[in-house]
C-alpha cells in the first residue's frame, strides 16, 4: 500500500520521513496555502532524498498548464495532483503534456454526486484521491470523510484515501475501505508544514502491525 505524507517543507523532514517508510511525499504548490513552498525549495528536497526514492508529488489547485509544467521540471516531480476544480478536459491536457508523470485527481467529497464524478476523470488520470470537503480550504483540514459512504466505491483507477486520517484511526480506515494508498498531513504535524516525526513513526508502527 502506498503511504503519502503531504505538506513537506524542509530537506531534513523530507529525508527523515522517506527513511521512516513513506512511499510518496507531497509538496504544496498552491501559493495561498500555509504549507506552500517554491519549486526551487521542492527541488532542494527531492535532490537530497535517500534511496529507495519515494514518489514526489506536486499538489496544484486550478493552476495553468505552463505553471504545472515549469514546476515539474524545476522541482523534479514524479507526479502531479490536481486538487481544485480542474475539468476532465484539463486533466486530458495535462496527461498529453506530461505523459511520463503520474496524474492524480483529488475529489473533495460531500455527496454521492462527488463520488460519481470519479468516472468522468478515470479515462484521463492514473490515480484518484478522496478528500473531505471544506468550504474554504482545499485540504489539510483534519476533517474526516464519512467512510460509510465510501464502502461501495470501486473506481477503475487506484485511489488514495485522505481526510482526517491519523495514526489512531488509520487501521480502521484501511480495514473498512481497502484503498490503494493513504494520505496524511495535519494529523502528523506540530503546525502547518512542520511535521512531527514521532507521529510519523507512530503511523508506520501501526502500519507494520497491519502488515
Q: What residue ranges in 39-109 does DSSP mark as E strands?
A: 55-60, 79-82, 102-109
Return d(Cα 193, Cα 185) in angstroms, integer: 8
- What's the rounded Cα separation, in Å, for the pair 60 and 47? 20
* CA-based nearest residue to 96, from 63, 65, 128: 65
25, containing H or E segment: strand 24-28
| 142 — pLDDT class (breaks 50, 70, 90) | low
CA angle 140, 194, 133 (to 5 degrees): 5
What integer pLDDT is reported at residue 138 of this predicted model?
Answer: 53
Q: Using CA atoms, how far apart are residues 204 and 211, in angstroms rounded to an integer?
A: 10
Report residue 156 as a C-alpha cell. Answer: 477503475
Give the confidence band of 93 by pLDDT, cuts at 50, 70, 90: very high
Question: What is the structure's pLDDT at 105?
Answer: 98
Question: Is a pLDDT exceeding 80 seen at residue 126?
Answer: yes
Is 146 noted as a catalytic residue in this protein?
no
Catalytic pick from 29, 56, 91, 131? 131
Alpha carbon distance 106, 161 (integer Å): 10
Going by the DSSP 8-state scheme, the letter that residue 186 receives in this structure is G
Query: By CB neighbour count within 10 A (0-12 exposed, 13-18 middle, 19+ buried), where does 117 fall?
Result: middle
pLDDT-based confidence at residue 27 (cuts at 50, 70, 90): very high
Give residue 114's pLDDT. 82
pLDDT tens sequence across 35-78: 999 999 999 999 999 999 999 999 999 999 999 999 999 999 99
For 2-210, CATH gives 3.20.20.70
Q: What is the pLDDT of residues 178-189, one digit of tens each?
A: 999 999 999 999
**Residue 134 and residue 142: Cα distance in Å, rounded?**
10
> Rounded to two decimals, what is the model's pTM?
0.94
Q: Which of 6, 29, 56, 91 is catalytic?
A: 6
Q: Are 82 and 53 in contact (CB under 8 A)?
A: no
- What's the confidence (pLDDT) of residue 136? 47
Q: Is 59 within 8 Å of 28 (Cβ atoms)?
A: yes
Per-residue CA distances from 75 to 8, 10, 34, 47, 90 (Å):
13, 13, 19, 9, 21
131 catalytic? Reply is: yes
Q: Which residue has the higher pLDDT, 105 or 164?
A: 105
Instruction: Please report which confidence band the pLDDT of residue 110 belongs to, taking 50, 70 and 90 as the band edges.
Output: confident
Asked whether the predicted pLDDT for residue 111 surpasses 80, the reply is: no
Domain extents in the chain:
2-210
Amino acid at each position: 500500500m502506498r503511504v503519502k505524507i503531504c505538506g513537506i517543507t524542509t530537506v531534513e523532514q523530507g529525508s527523515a520521513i522517506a527513511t521512516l517508510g513513506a512511499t510518496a511525499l507531497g509538496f504544496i504548490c498552491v501559493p495561498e496555502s500555509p504549507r506552500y513552498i517554491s519549486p526551487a525549495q521542492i527541488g532542494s528536497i527531492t535532490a537530497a532524498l535517500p534511496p529507495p526514492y519515494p514518489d514526489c508529488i506536486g499538489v496544484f489547485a486550478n493552476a495553468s498548464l505552463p505553471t504545472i509544467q515549469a514546476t515539474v521540471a524545476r522541482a523534479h516531480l514524479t507526479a502531479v495532483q490536481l486538487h481544485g476544480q480542474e475539468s476532465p478536459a484539463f486533466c486530458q491536457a495535462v496527461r498529453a503534456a506530461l505523459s511520463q508523470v503520474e496524474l492524480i485527481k483529488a475529489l473533495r467529497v460531500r455527496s454521492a454526486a462527488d463520488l460519481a464524478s470519479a468516472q468522468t476523470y478515470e479515462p484521463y488520470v492514473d490515480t484518484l484521491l478522496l478528500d473531505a470537503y471544506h468550504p474554504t480550504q482545499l485540504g489539510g483540514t483534519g476533517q474526516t470523510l464519512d467512510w460509510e459512504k465510501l464502502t461501495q466505491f470501486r473506481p477503475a483507477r487506484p485511489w488514495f484515501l485522505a481526510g482526517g486520517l491519523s495514526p489512531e484511526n488509520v487501521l480502521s480506515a484501511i480495514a473498512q475501505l481497502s484503498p490503494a494508498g493513504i494520505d496524511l498531513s495535519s494529523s502528523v504535524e506540530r503546525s502547518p508544514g512542520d511535521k512531527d516525526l514521532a507521529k510519523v513513526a507512530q503511523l508506520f508502527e501501526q502500519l507494520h502491525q497491519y502488515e
